[in-house]
Structure formats: C-alpha cells, structure tokens
Structure 1
Amino acid sequence: MKWILAIALLTTMGGPVLAEGNRIDIQRPDAPELAAPGPLAIGVRTIEIVNENQPDVLAGIGATYNRPLTLEIWYPADLKGGAPGGDYLDVQMANSDQKITLHGQAVRDAEPLKTDAPYPLVILSHGYPGNRFLISHFGENLASKGYVVASIDHFESTYENKLGFASTLANRSPDQLFILDSVAKLSAASGGFLSGLVDAENSAIIGYSMGGYGAVLSAGAGLSEAASGMGMAPPEALAGLMAGSEAFTASRDSRLKAVVAIAPWGAHLGLWDEAGLAGIKMPLLMMGGTLDEVSDYENGIRRIYDGATNAERYLLTFQGAGHNAAAPMPPPDEAIMGGAGSPFEHYADFVWANARMNNIAQHFVTAFLGLYLKGDTSMERYLALGPDDWRETTGDRPWVGFGERTTRALVFEQAKP
C-alpha cells in the first residue's frame, strides 16, 4: 500500500513518474536541441546473420560452430502516406521470464527510402547480458536523421542465452566487425531491402558496457599481455585481440570511422595498457557516470579517455550516475515493481531518469556522428564545450543546444591527439 501512495504522490506533485509506457521514443521538455527526431520516417526489420566456422570458446580449443546473430535494423523509410508508429512484440525483459511489448515510431517492414541513399551505418552493441533492444532509442532516433542502424543480439550474451563470459570477451569486437562487413555486402548485393541503402565506408559503433569494451577494441585498442593471463578466457581465445599481433592488425576495418563507448568495461582491470590505448586513432566519444560500480569511472572509463592519446576524443560525464548512465532505455512498466536485483535495477539509475539521459546522449551522438560520418561542420559547435578543469565546472553553463538550468551535473570534455 505504501508504494501505491508513493507513486500517487510523485505523480500528483509533479515529481518523476516511474512508468513511461514502454516507449523508446520519449522526448522530454528539457531535452537538448539535437535529441529531437529528424525529418525522416523510420522502418524496421529483423534479420538473421550467421558467422560460420567460428571458434567455439566455451567448447574448448579447436572446437568450431556457426555463430548466429539476430539484427534489428532501423532505416529511413518511405511510408507512402501511411502513419508512423508501431510495436516491438515479444521482447525479452532482463532478469525475468517475461516477454514485453515496446512502442516507438518505426513501421515494421516499411519500404526503404532510397531517395537520399546510401546512408552511413551505425552498429549498436549491448551489454552482458542484454539484447538488441536495450539501447534501441538510438536506433529510431538516428534512423530518422539519415542513418541505417543495425543492433545486434550477441549470441551467448543475451537475456535468453547468457552463457560463459569467455564467449563475450572473445566475440564482442569480432561480432561488431563481422556485422559491419555483412551489412556492407547486403547493401552491395541486388534484390534485398538493404540493396544500395548503406554507405558502409562511413560506419560507426555505439557500444554499452561489454559493447563498449568491444567498441574500444574495434577502434584499435588491442588487449594488453596481462589480459591473457587473467583467467577470464583461454589465452588462445584472446590471441587475435592482442595489441601488436598480426591477427589483430589484420582485422582492423578502415570503413569504421568513429566509435561511441558508453561505460566501457575492462580498463579498470588492466585489459589495456598505454600502448594498446594509443592504438585508437579514430574519433572517440565516451560517456559514463562518476559512480559506475561496474566499469569504474576513475580507473576505467577515464583511463580509456586519457589513454587514447592518438584520437580526437570527447567524454560526457553524468555526475552521480552509476553503470546505467545514458545507454539503457527506460525501465519497462513490467519492471518497476521489484526490489533488489529486480528487472528495474537492470535498466534504471538511482539518481538520473533514463529518458533524460537518453535525450542527452542522443544530442551528443547526433553531433558527433554528424561531424565524423557525414562531414557536417555545423555540428562542431555542439562539441566545443570542454572545460579546462572538469571537476570545477558542474553548475549552470551556456552550452549550445541546452536550455537554462539543464547542464547541471553534466561535464563535457574534449582532447586532441
């Protein structure tokens, strides 16, 4: 009875409302300018991709298997006069057996809009565990602005199929680069809905948590020698990810032009050293919360930002936020009833509202990808905000694109190579 009263009071008094209708397209009144959806209608399709004859890390040395990867693909659409909006059915909720329905603007299986094609490619990579919908707000938002967005269900790393962590450690970056190559081939082929739709030469990855770990690797930061001896995966499984190795060097993809790493995991344990992080030479946008209890803000997230000395790089910090900063969609309505360890805690932050963080992240991602994938120099002014002493600049600041009093508890830094 107490929780009913608490929610009623919050609602009637104008405070935060926990239930948000399972929408991934929320735009709050205090959202910064570039968070707003673009002018294009959105289509979405689900496809299956198989990476054949891959090392089966969990089965042992020498074992191989065909690795299935489900993709949710958002793209600019031609609705031919129809109305936008649709449902995502049977989405697995975290820490639960329950399937839920999400709501957004995309129209299932809509015809692609090829008038302005090809569009840059953005790959979304979830955490461990997660699924292709965990950071789906980026999918719809970016598709409306002229991107094709492919979100991965990483096999053996999803809510439905969470298996040994060694698989995630070994496969996350290879999955990302395989999907880049696969989508590029589908666009180059005739007959499919992606035919001629994707400009894979201008691609980016947005990764959260273990997806961020993979994104840092994909950006060029090979693992340290110490990583292979930590016991989290067989050394053989990580051999192709080691900094300086022929296999790692050969696997780099020049079509990848920029990376967004949100709460990337691993640096706090020493998975990268200075030489490895110096291997990042493409633009890097990072986001994190100062109280990240999983990736460690000071020793993990900031270590990557400070160590990527050869990259044009940016860091967006949410003061007081934990590991769920910026990336996860708002908690589903079905998740708000739980206590410790409930589905709610998998999505939510204890200080910040998800939709608020999502909108801020959408704003900066729009500017970052607009500049580095589309060459839109008008986006530079939204990124020219970095303070000299980030710890002393957390009050009200006149940031481009932000309303009065909406920059509180945010810090944005930038550094040159």
Structure 2
Amino acid sequence: MKHITLTTALVATAAASPLAAQNRIDGQSPDAPELAAYGTLPVGVRQFEFVNPDQIDIVSVAGGAGTPGNPPRYDRPLTVEMWYPAAADATGETKFNTFLRDGTTEVTLEGRAMRDAAPAEGDEAFPLLMLSHGFPGNRFLMSHLAENLASKGYVVASIDHTDSTYRDQSAFGSTLVNRPLDNIFVLNQMAQLNNTAGSGFTGLIDTDNTGLVGYSMGGYGAIVTAGGGVTETSVGYPWGGPNGTLGIHQAGSDTHEALPDARIKTAVAIGPWGMNAGFWDAEGLAGIDIPMLFIAGSEDATSLYENGVRAIWEGATSVDRALLTFDGGGHNTVAPIPAPEESFYYNDRLRFNVSEHYTDEVWDTVFMNNVGQHFLTAWMDRELKGDVDKGAYLNLLARGGDGTWSVNDDGTLRDDHTYWKGFAEGTADGLRYEVLQAAPAPVPLPASVWMMAFGLAGLSVLKRRARRAAA
C-alpha cells in the first residue's frame, strides 16, 4: 500500500511544519492517475448572489418562532461560485480569498481559473455540475474539483449553503431541510442564466444534463435530491428539523415525490452523512432513481463506513451504483482542498488543529484529490456526455492491489495486464472500486398491487422513471 506508507510520513511532516503546506488548489501528484490531469480548456470563475424567495426560516423556527404548520418565512440568500470554460484569449486574476474552518482567518488561495474571464465562444453547451459542501464548509472547499472539471468541458456551480458555512454556521435543521431545496433552486438559476439574453452565459450551460456532487452533509443533500426519502423517525428528532419541517423530505410524502428533477442525471456522494443517524432505511434508499458514485474512507468516524456510506451504497437498490473506498482513509477523503498554510495551528474554541479539517491521517491530500478528479472525470463523462470509452476506467478489479502489472518494453500492455486503467504501477494499492447493479425490473403490475408488494418508495421510483423517460 504505497501511498498509505508514504503519506503518513508526509502528513506528520506537514503537521510539524506549516512550511510543508501549500495554498494552491491545483496540485498534481507525480503519480496522479491519468484522468486527473487538467483538460485543454481555459477556465473562468465568477461569483453570483441569488435569493430564493418565501422559504421557511428554519433558524427562526429552531429559536421558537412560529407554530407547527405556520412557520415564519424569509427570502433565502445563496452565494454561488461558478467555474466555466473560458474564451481562448481570456485573462484574469487566479488568486482568491476565502475563510478557514475557524470562520475568522482569511487566506489567499491560488488555482488556474481566471476571475471574471470571458466565457467560451461558440455554440457548444457544457453539462452542469453542482457542488455542495459539508457542515460547516463553503463554496471553495471543493474548488480543486471545480476548476479541474471545468477545464474538461463542464460548467460547475458551487453553493454556499446559508446557515452552513464557516462564517454563518447556525441551526443544524437548516442544513437538513434546505440542502435539497438549495440544489433545485440553483439548478433553476443556472437554467435562467443559460436562457437569458445578455447574461453572458446564454447557450453555455446544458442544465438538461446535470450532475450533483455532495460532501458529508452535501452528500446527505445529494441523496435526498436523488430521491432518497428520509425516515419518519428522523423527522421527529428534536435536534433535527424543528416542528416537523423535515417532513417535506420523508419517503413517500407528496413533497418529496415532487422533489427529484429529471434534469439531474447522476450524483456523486463523498462521505455522505445520515445512515449513521437513522435518516434512511431500505424503503427510503430504494427511492434513489439516478446512477450514483459513492466515495468513502474505510475509517470514516463521522459518517461511518460499514454502517454508514457502504450501507447507503448497498441500499440504493433501484439504480446502478459504485463505491470507491480509500482503505484507512477518514472523513476528509477526496473532497477538501489541501490544508492552507495558515491552518496549521491549534484553535482553542474548536479544540483541534484547524489543518485537521483538510488533511487525512493516512493519505496525502493532493493524491486523494487527484484520484477523485480521475474518477469524477470518468463517471461524469460517461453519464453526462455519453463517452462510452470512459467506461474502461470504471471497469476495474474490486481491489486495486490485486491487479497484475504486465507491460512490454515498448510500453504496450500484455494480455495478462489487469491493473487499473489510468494508474501507474503500485499506485492503486489501498483503493477499492466496487459496483452493484440495479435490482431487476419487476413484472408489470397495477399500481395498487405494485405499491402493496414493493412499498411507496418503489412505486415512486417507477413513476419517476416514467417522468424521466417522458422528459
């Protein structure tokens, strides 16, 4: 397990010396897998301020305002950072400012995306990806994924989920209730940008081919948005959605049935939270109706693995899905940017070293990011662009270390070569990639009989599939 051995020492060195940290988000490990490399397109980045009108004010409800069935409402602000293919001659600043996990320390990061660069010219529309951070987090936490994928022909919208960022962390119920609603609202705003003359992005964003990527609580939101309805028990948690407000996402409810959007074709959940706290059961997970890739560390102490992420993957029985596992990895697998130099200090209020929010105890962050970029490129290209050749990067032995490296002197592969495609010798050790297929389609039955046999969630999937086919 080459990287586990090497990177333990690297992390220990970084923890001892902030000079080992870096404030670039575009790192490429010398042994990064093939598809992690940046694409050929220049990338621009732009900030947008949106307002979702007349939303339930969960923070006020949690504070005691309103009554069940009559909660206070407000116009919900959302900041979105959008990365996009830029014009060939575009220019712009590549540094940007953001805040650390402590919510007070502002730092300067640098990548390759150019601030406010002119968008790409021509008639090509690029699939949309939406990124949803953890609790707390912010829209820049997965910026390494955003600009990397934008360079390969995607428009990427990363959401600052109000009440869930480092700067405004508030009632947890807001995260539970609002994440899926934020996702759909931002999707609609991206469609409006694409369809509005004079927006600067007219015809650039293919919202009919959208992918959703969520980390931790963003993974929870991705699962709900994809059709995974929550349990009745979780709706009643006193620490959850106040006054039953989470009921809009309960499996089988009319509101949840109306939530999944046919424009969202696939989702990726990185360390998704919720199974560990009883938010899903077999019926709720069976409601997921789009292909999903799950990514996790086997030692995730936040979302858990066997009884957390892996159990979600196993339970999403209605769809084809895959699980990428970093053996020994924790909750910070793949998603966070490398720890900024200024994060290497102990925060008395948080009672931990802030760098721990970004690093893994075992795996090197840059290499993990590169593996994530590689797999998301293959997955999204196949699911959203119809690139069947990318399937070869996803048709793998379950354990990376079980592959045989067999190459001729001229670099061509021998017939007995079974090592993971795109990975150099030894670099897939410690990684697993497992695939499960959707359960066979049931024999056609009247809706009433189908519901009795397979439950509300199963019937819901059948109805949603019909809607998607019609769309």
**TM-score band (shorter)?**
over 0.9
Tell me, in whole angstroms, the C-alpha distance in 1 between the residues paired with 2:403 and 2:342: 36
Question: Considering only CA atoms, is the larger Rg found in Structure 1 or Structure 2?
Answer: 2
Does the CA contact (< 8 Å) of 2:268 and 2:293 recur in 1?
yes
Tell me, in whole angstroms, the C-alpha distance in 2 between the residues paired with 1:16 and 1:287: 30
1:352 maps to which residue? Answer: 363
1:222 aligns with 2:223: no
Q: 1:92 to 1:17 in 2, by over 3 A?
A: closer
Tell me, in whole angstroms, the C-alpha distance in 1 between the residues paired with 2:135 and 2:332: 12
Is the partner of 2:128 in helix, strand or coil? strand
Does the CA contact (< 8 Å) of 2:103 and 2:167 recur in 1?
no
Q: Which is further off, 16-25 or 372-381?
A: 16-25
Is the partner of 2:288 in helix, strand or coil? coil
1:332-379 Cα deviation digits (max 9, x unpaired)? 011124376121011111111111100000000000000000000010
Does the CA contact (< 8 Å) of 1:85 and 1:104 recur in 2?
no
1:331 aligns with 2:339: yes
1:44 maps to which residue? Answer: 45
Q: 1:386 to 1:311 in 2, by over 3 A?
A: farther
1:293 aligns with 2:301: yes
Tell me, in whole angstroms, the C-alpha distance in 2 between the residues paired with 1:352 and 1:259: 24
Is the partner of 2:334 in helix, strand or coil? coil
Please, which of 392, 395, 417 is the counterpart of residue 381 of structure 1?
392
* Structure 1 vs Structure 2 CA RMSD: 2.0
Letter aligned with residue 321 of structure 2: R
1:342 maps to which residue? Answer: 353
How far 1:268 sits from its partner (Å)?
1.3
Does the CA contact (< 8 Å) of 2:326 and 2:333 recur in 1?
yes
Tell me, in whole angstroms, the C-alpha distance in 2 between the residues paired with 1:357 and 1:366: 14
Letter aligned with residue 180 of structure 2: S
1:319 maps to which residue? Answer: 327
Q: Which is further off, 198-207 or 336-345?
A: 336-345
1:44-99 Cα deviation digits (max 9, x unpaired)? 000101101100112124100111110110000014265x761012x111125110
1:274 aligns with 2:285: no
Tell me, in whole angstroms, the C-alpha distance in 2 between the residues paired with 1:73 and 1:165: 26
Is the partner of 1:355 in helix, strand or coil? helix
1:201 maps to which residue? Answer: 208
Structural mapping, 1:248-259, within 5 Å: 248-259=256-267
Letter aligned with residue 74 of structure 2: Y
Does the CA contact (< 8 Å) of 1:292 and 1:321 recur in 2?
yes
1:368 maps to which residue? Answer: 379
Q: 1:244 to 1:10 in 2, by over 3 A?
A: closer
Please, which of 116, 132, 141 is the counterpart of residue 109 of structure 1?
116
2:55 maps to which residue? Answer: 54
Does the CA contact (< 8 Å) of 1:386 and 1:412 recur in 2?
yes
Does the CA contact (< 8 Å) of 2:397 and 2:403 recur in 1?
no
1:305 aligns with 2:313: yes
Q: Which is further off, 331-340 or 353-362?
A: 331-340
Letter aligned with residue 124 of structure 2: A
Tell me, in whole angstroms, the C-alpha distance in 2 between the residues paired with 1:294 and 1:327: 14
Tell me, in whole angstroms, the C-alpha distance in 2 between the residues paired with 1:198 and 1:362: 21
- TM-score, length-scaled by structure 1: 0.92
Paired residues, number? 402
1:171 maps to which residue? Answer: 178
How far 1:408 sits from its partner (Å)?
0.9
Letter aligned with residue 63 of structure 1: P
Does the CA contact (< 8 Å) of 1:126 and 1:132 recur in 2?
yes
Tell me, in whole angstroms, the C-alpha distance in 1 between the residues paired with 2:164 and 2:242: 17
Tell me, in whole angstroms, the C-alpha distance in 2 between the residues paired with 1:85 and 1:355: 23
1:148 aligns with 2:158: no
Q: Which is further off, 393-402 or 67-76?
A: 393-402
Q: 1:18 to 1:363 in 2, by over 3 A?
A: farther
Does the CA contact (< 8 Å) of 1:85 and 1:103 recur in 2?
no
Is the partner of 2:314 in helix, strand or coil? helix
Does the CA contact (< 8 Å) of 1:209 and 1:262 recur in 2?
yes
Letter aligned with residue 74 of structure 1: W
Does the CA contact (< 8 Å) of 1:18 and 1:336 recur in 2?
no
Letter aligned with residue 140 of structure 1: E
1:29 maps to which residue? Answer: 30
Letter aligned with residue 76 of structure 2: R
Letter aligned with residue 282 of structure 1: I
- Structure 2: 5+ residue stretches without partners: 1-8, 405-418, 439-471
1:86 aligns with 2:87: no
Identity of aligned residues (%): 46
Is the partner of 1:192 in helix, strand or coil? coil
Tell me, in whole angstroms, the C-alpha distance in 1 between the residues paired with 2:105 and 2:125: 38
Tell me, in whole angstroms, the C-alpha distance in 1 between the residues paired with 2:120 and 2:334: 29
Is the partner of 1:94 in helix, strand or coil? coil
Does the CA contact (< 8 Å) of 1:321 and 1:352 recur in 2?
yes
Is the partner of 1:286 in helix, strand or coil? strand
2:452 maps to which residue? Answer: none
2:245 maps to which residue? Answer: 237
- TM-score, length-scaled by structure 2: 0.82
Tell me, in whole angstroms, the C-alpha distance in 2 between the residues paired with 1:16 and 1:321: 22
Tell me, in whole angstroms, the C-alpha distance in 1 between the residues paired with 2:42 and 2:145: 15
Does the CA contact (< 8 Å) of 2:22 and 2:338 recur in 1?
no
Tell me, in whole angstroms, the C-alpha distance in 2 between the residues paired with 1:206 and 1:19: 29
Deviating 4+ runs (over 6 angstroms) = 15-18
